[in-house]
Structure 1
C-alpha cells in the first residue's frame, strides 16, 4: 500500500498540494484525475521522490520513503513522452534497468522476452524506437518500467501524446496488463473516460486537494460535489438541479409522469422547452433545449431511435424531466 499523509507542497504562493492524505491499496490501479493545476502530477512526483514535500509523509509498503531518493523507492515510472534511448534497440531499452543492476545475462534475456510477449512487442526486439509507432513506443516504455519488478508503477499521462483511437486501444491493453501483473499502479490523467475505463479507484483532485475518492461507479453516480459531477462527464442544469444529459427524458406530452426513481427526481418536475439544435453523434443524439420559463439552455441526450420517433426539429416545443438527480454532499 502507498500512504500519503498531510502532504503539502508550495511553489511560492501557489499551493500545489494542500494537506493531501490518500491511501492507495496494494495491487490496485488508482487514477489521480483532475484539471491542469489540480496537483495530480505533483502528488505522483512526490510519491516517486521527484518532488520533495514541504511537509507530510509518504510510505510505500509500510516504509517511510519521504526522504528516500527515487532510485531507492522500488518504483517504475512512465512519462507522457517515452524517454526512450534512441540509439538502443527495443530489447536493450527494456533490458536497461536490469543491465545497470548487473543481473545475469540469461536472466535478463528471459525477463525481456517475457515482457515483450506480455506487451505485444514480441518480434520487435531488434527495432529502434524511431521504427515504432507511438503506441508501440509507449508499450516499450511500460515494459522497461516493469522489467525490474517494481513494487509500484507510476504513470504520468502515459497516453496523452497519442491520438484518440490509439489511446482507446491502449486503455484496453493497460487494463488487461494490470490484471495480469497486479502491480500497484497510480495513473495521472485529465481524461475522465480513461479514468472511468481503467481504474479500480479514482481520486478526483481540484486546487491541490482531493475532492472525492471511490470506485468509478461511486464518483460518477454518487458525486461528492458539483465539481466532481461536472468534471466526470457532461452535466445539464434543469430547474436548479445538476443532472446528467442522459438522465433527461424528452417527450411531447406535458403530462409526463414525474419520476420517483430513488426519490430524487420528483422536485425537478416537467419543463417546457424549445428545441434549439439537434446534433446526431452516431447512435446518440444531443438535443440542445431552451427552458421556456427561465430562458436557460440545457442539453438532453437521447437515442437516435427516440429522436426519430419524436421527430425532433429546431423551433419545436417539447417537454423534459429528469429521471435521476444525484444527491450532492
Structure 2
C-alpha cells in the first residue's frame, strides 16, 4: 500500500498540494485525475521522490520513504515522453535497469524476453527506438520500468503524446497488462474517459486538494459535489440542475414530463428549447439546445435511433426533461476549463 499523509507542497504562494491524504491499496490501478494545476503530477512526483514535500509523510509497503532517494524507493516510472536510449536496441533499453544492478546475464535475458512477450514486442528486440511507432515506444518504456520488478509503477500521462486511436488501444492493453502483472500502479491523467476505462479507483484533485476518491462507478453515479460531477464526464444545466446529457429526454410534446412527485427527477419540470445543432457521433447523437426562457445553452445525448425517429432539425422547438438527477448541493461553483458546449458555468441557488 502507498500512503500519503498530510502532504503539502508550495511553489512561492501557489499551493500545489494542500494537506493531501490518500491511501492507494496494494495491487490496485489508481488514477489521479484533475485539470491542469490541480496537483496530480506533483503528488505522483512526491510519491516517486522527485519532489520534496514541505511537510507530510509518504510510505510504501509500510516503509517511510519521505526522505529516501527515488533510487531506493523500489519504483518504476514512465513519463509522457519515452526517454528512450536512442543508441540502444529495444532489448538493451529494457535490460538497462537490470544491467546496472549487475544481475546475471541469463537472468537478464530471460526477464527481457518475458517482458517483451507480455508487452507485445516479441520480435522487435533488435530494433532501435526510431524504428518503432509511438505506441510501441511507450510499451517499451513500460517494459523497461517493469524489468526491475518494482513494488510500485508510476505513470505520468503516459499516453498524452499519442493520437486518439493509439491511446484507446493502449488503454485496453494497459488494463490487461495490469491484470497480468498485478503491480501497484498510479496513473496521472486529465482524460476522464481514460480514468474511467482503466482505473480500479480514481482520486479527483482540484486546486491541490482531493475532492473525492472511489471506484469509477461511485464517482460517476454518486459524485460528492458539483466539481466531481462536472469534471468526471459531461454535464448540462436543466432548470438550474446539473444533469448528465444522456439523462435528458427530448421530445415535441410539452406535456411529456409534467412534475408528478416532489423530489423525483420529474420535479425538475419541462424546459422548452430551440435546437441549435445536431451532431452525429456514431451510435450517439448530441443535440445542442438553447433554453427558450433563459437563453442558456445545454446539450442532450440521444441514440441514433431516437434521433432518426424525432427527425430533429436546427431551429425547431422541442421540450426536454431530466430522467435522472444526482443528489448534489445547489451552490455556485467554478467549472473546470475542459467544460464543453452546453456545460454550465454555475448551478443555481
1:140 CA displacement: 0.3
Tell me if 1:86 matches 2:80: no
In 2, Cα distance between equivalents of 1:177 and 1:222: 29
> Under a length normalisation based on structure 1, what TM-score does the superposition of the two structures give?
0.98
Task: Quote the residue 2:143 is aligned against.
Answer: 143
Task: Quote the residue 1:198 is aligned against.
Answer: 198
1:259 CA displacement: 7.8
Task: Quote the residue 2:122 is aligned against.
Answer: 122
1:275-294 CA-to-partner distances (Å, cap 9, x unmatched) read 12211122111111121222
Task: Quote the residue 2:177 is aligned against.
Answer: 177
In 2, Cα distance between equivalents of 1:276 and 1:250: 13
Task: Quote the residue 1:324 is aligned against.
Answer: 324
Call closer, same or farther: CA 1:304–1:180 in 2, change over 3 Å. Answer: same
1:258 CA displacement: 5.0
SS at match of 1:113: helix
Call closer, same or farther: CA 1:70–1:262 in 2, change over 3 Å. Answer: farther
In 1, Cα distance between equivalents of 2:322 and 2:258: 8
Task: Quote the residue 1:247 is aligned against.
Answer: 247
Task: Quote the residue 1:297 is aligned against.
Answer: 297
Tell me if 1:16 matches 2:16: yes
Task: Quote the residue 1:312 is aligned against.
Answer: 312
In 1, Cα distance between equivalents of 2:264 and 2:119: 45
In 2, Cα distance between equivalents of 1:155 and 1:258: 49
Task: Quote the residue 1:234 is aligned against.
Answer: 234
In 2, Cα distance between equivalents of 1:262 and 1:236: 21
Q: Contact 2:9/2:17 (CA < 8 Å) preserved in 1?
A: yes
Call closer, same or farther: CA 1:264–1:45 in 2, change over 3 Å. Answer: farther
In 2, Cα distance between equivalents of 1:114 and 1:36: 37
SS at match of 1:47: helix
Structure 2 gap ranges (5+): 330-349
Task: Quote the residue 1:98 is aligned against.
Answer: 98
1:264 CA displacement: 4.0
Task: Quote the residue 1:188 is aligned against.
Answer: 188
> Under a length normalisation based on structure 2, what TM-score does the superposition of the two structures give?
0.92
In 1, Cα distance between equivalents of 2:259 and 2:281: 27
Q: Contact 1:259/1:322 (CA < 8 Å) preserved in 2?
A: no
Q: Contact 1:261/1:323 (CA < 8 Å) preserved in 2?
A: no
In 1, Cα distance between equivalents of 2:171 and 2:25: 21
1:313 CA displacement: 1.0
Task: Quote the residue 1:64 is aligned against.
Answer: 64
1:17-58 CA-to-partner distances (Å, cap 9, x unmatched) read 000000000000000000110000000000000000000000
Q: Contact 1:50/1:70 (CA < 8 Å) preserved in 2?
A: yes
1:262 CA displacement: 12
Q: Contact 1:34/1:204 (CA < 8 Å) preserved in 2?
A: yes
1:70 CA displacement: 0.2
Task: Quote the residue 2:334 is aligned against.
Answer: none
In 2, Cα distance between equivalents of 1:191 and 1:10: 25
1:260 CA displacement: 7.9
In 2, Cα distance between equivalents of 1:81 and 1:261: 54
SS at match of 1:122: coil
Question: How many residues are aligned here?
Answer: 329
Q: Please give the root-mean-square deviation of Cα atoms over the aligned residues, in Å.
A: 1.4
1:236-257 CA-to-partner distances (Å, cap 9, x unmatched) read 0000000011100001111214
Q: Contact 1:261/1:324 (CA < 8 Å) preserved in 2?
A: no
Task: Quote the residue 1:217 is aligned against.
Answer: 217
Structure 1 gap ranges (5+): none
